[in-house]
Chains A and B, each alone.
Chain A
Amino acid sequence: MGVEARKPPPQLALKLRRALGGKAGWNGVAVQLVFGAILAWIAYEIISNARTNLETQHIAAGFGFLKNSASFDVNQTLISYSGSDTYFRVFVVGILNTLLVSVVGIFFATVIGFVVALCRLSPNWLVSRVGGLYVEAIRNLPLLFQILFWYLAVLAALPAPRQSVSIFSAFFLNNRGVIVPSPLAQPGLVPFLAMLALGLVASLALRSYARRALFAQGRAIRIWPYVLTLLVGLPLVTMLVFGLPITFEFPQLKGFNFAGGARIIPELVALTVGLSTYTAAFIAEIVRAGILSVHKGQMEAGSSLGLSRGATLRLIVVPQAMRVIVPPLTNQYLNLTKNSSLAVAIGYPDLVSVFAGTALSQTGQAIEIIAMTMGVYLLTSLVTSAIMSVYGWRISRSLGA
């Protein structure tokens, strides 16, 4: 019978040499070590020199200022904040405002981008030209001007608070923003949310069970009546038992502005519209390229199976196109996040505006504050691209590539 293959000798040292030094072997390793040491030394020199120079110039240094109270106000905060809070809280307020505009912007940019791309690919002459016009007009104008345009256009078109456009006396539209009734939590809220969550989890479990049954045994199970009962019926019953989960506080005109209610400030609207329409133009081109990269035989195969154009796109073409779309799409998401720093031009309190702007000039600690701000953008970008990588990897895997 067969002779057992001889095991190769252990090659740990060889492998290590190859990994670290490449073709140059141990010499390469030595060169890399020296190079690393020189880099570290330069970094050390710069940092220690900066420290001594700041000290001799009597410029305050270090991160102690984060504990001092900021004593200025911010007009949109997602967490409670007042002038007596610390600079660190200003930092967090700024991050949250930046994340808010980025997430909302990314959502709308993606939706608009996909719609415009499908328009451009449409066989209808008019629709495809309108899509083309959108892309060419939007992506060839500087973003800053578009944001300023939206801001000034939005403000110019809206009336003063005392002449607000009122919808059912509950929603108001004026040049201070959109004022909506704000929800107030009631005792029934907790059981309501708990039941809603329970319904969601149960529906998801049901769906995955039905899919497994479909793929494994070819049994099609109708689940929508159960899902409907779980998602609507269950919370409804809870509401009957525990009472309304929330009530609304309606805004009322008091003095100069509305009191009560929640408000979406026009700066946020203008910035989101500007960022998402601008990025959407680029996303549209990426999506179009991705869809065109799928062989047209796939489209024809879909229609020969009797699928509608929409269903062919949704079920066959787009999933294959996503492999091409995701990497450049990630770039656009990162661009949008970084471009949100243009907020300072229209007075939206994002991270750059409140922290690298106001806080910096109140404390004068440029190096620390700019470093922290850059750190936040770097981290946000890395997290975004990590999420997108995972998504891309899952798509590739599901396509068996």
Chain B
Amino acid sequence: MKRVTLALSLALAAGLSAQAADAQTLKTIKDRGMLSCGVSQGLPGFSSPDDKGNWTGLDVDVCRAIAAVVLNDPTKIKFVPLSAKDRFTALQSGEIDVLSRNTTWTVSRDTSLGANFTGVTYYDGQGFMVKKSLKVNSALELNSASVCVQTGTTTELNLADYFKANNMKYEVIAFGTIDEAVKAYESGRCDVFTDDSSGLYASRLKLTNPADHIVLPEIISKEPLGPMVRHGDDQWFDVVKWTLFAMVTAEELGITQKNVDEMAKSDKPELKRVLGTDGNLGEQLGLTKDWVIRIVKAVGNYGESFDRNVGAGSPLKISRGINSLWTKGGLQYAPPIR
């Protein structure tokens, strides 16, 4: 029923509030004293609550960084857990200020949803997980398999494309949430569970016997995941976009949670510019001079956040791979802060 409520609130918001289009998101958040951030319903490494209800993850760190630059407090966030199919409606209706929920950037989503992607937090690709006992070594051996998937995702579309392109038959069973899909996979309803490969590793942790399942080597799609904001508020778009770039830049310059205060005393012109001891770049964004310092203090640089949530320092142990900095042969690259 949440979906109907959302749709109705969207209809009401669209119908009754005349200023919906030129919303001043930044000002609204400051007045409210709280950032409303759309996240997943629990995907370890990206956004999931712990037993005390604290949200952690790579996507959550983006929310925390934004709250730090806007409100100077990375805890002033209302996390709104959303299923894949409710997420865009929640953003359109204004229920959330930013959607940071492992969402794939595609042209149709960028154009027809009234929303904009602000960058890429994680370069992902779709994969398949199967039980070891099936003795399958390649996705091309999956002809006639039953596949569990979460509904309302690009995953569902790639799946159809992949099986069609390879002339294979399959049966799709689409579930409302990732947990239901994983549960059905575990109960034997499906031979295969498919998701972004980061999601596969995360879901595998939740299974009773993770070692009994393998992720097949094929990556069948490009899934650049990133945050989204509503169309038509350029200032807010810039804030979210540059918060991401600042995290990447901080890693590039070697600014970490530990050494950020020392770095701020440095004489190097680039560090002075980035950390706000020189110039007013932060103010041009509608923020404060020390915006990058706030981000790094709250969540660390991109590399630190990656390691803590999905990388070597986390149970997922995903290697940096294409998510390394461009200087190390990866794709993470930020335009210069100057």
Contacts and interface: CB of A to CB of B under 8 A. Distances in A.
A300 interface: no
Nearest to B134: A256
B112 A59 contact: yes
Contact of A155 (B13, B87, B153, B187): B187
A357 B143 contact: no
Interface in A236-251: none
B174 A347 contact: yes
B131 to A, nearest CB: 10
Interface in B32-78: none
B156 interface: yes
B104 to A, nearest CB: 12
Contacts, number: 172
How big is the A interface, by class? 35 or more
B140 interface: no
Contact of B174 (A50, A255, A349): A349
Interface residues of B, number: 62
B92 to A, nearest CB: 6
Given A56-B21, A175-B187, A358-B85, A75 B15 contact: no
Q: Main SS of chain A's interface residues?
A: helix
A357 B175 CA distance: 10
B232 A57 contact: yes
Interface in B137-151: 142-146, 148, 151
Contacts of A160: 188
B6 to A, nearest CB: 7
B32 to A, nearest CB: 21
B19 to A, nearest CB: 9
Contact of B191 (A254, A256, A361): A256
B145 A366 contact: no
A315 to B, nearest CB: 45
Contacts of B151: 344, 353, 357-358, 361
Interface string B154-172: 0011011100100000111
B53 to A, nearest CB: 24
Given A256-B191, A364-B92, A364-B113, A49 B173 contact: no
B132 interface: no
B7 interface: yes
B184 A155 contact: yes
A357 B21 CA distance: 26
Contacts of A267: 173
Interface of A: 45-47, 49-50, 53-54, 56-60, 71-75, 83, 152, 155-156, 160, 175-176, 254-257, 259, 266-267, 344-347, 349, 352-354, 356-358, 360-367, 370
Interface of B: 3-4, 6-8, 10-11, 13-18, 20-21, 84-89, 92, 108-109, 111-114, 134, 142-146, 148, 151-153, 156-157, 159-161, 164, 170-176, 180-181, 183-184, 187-189, 191, 230-232
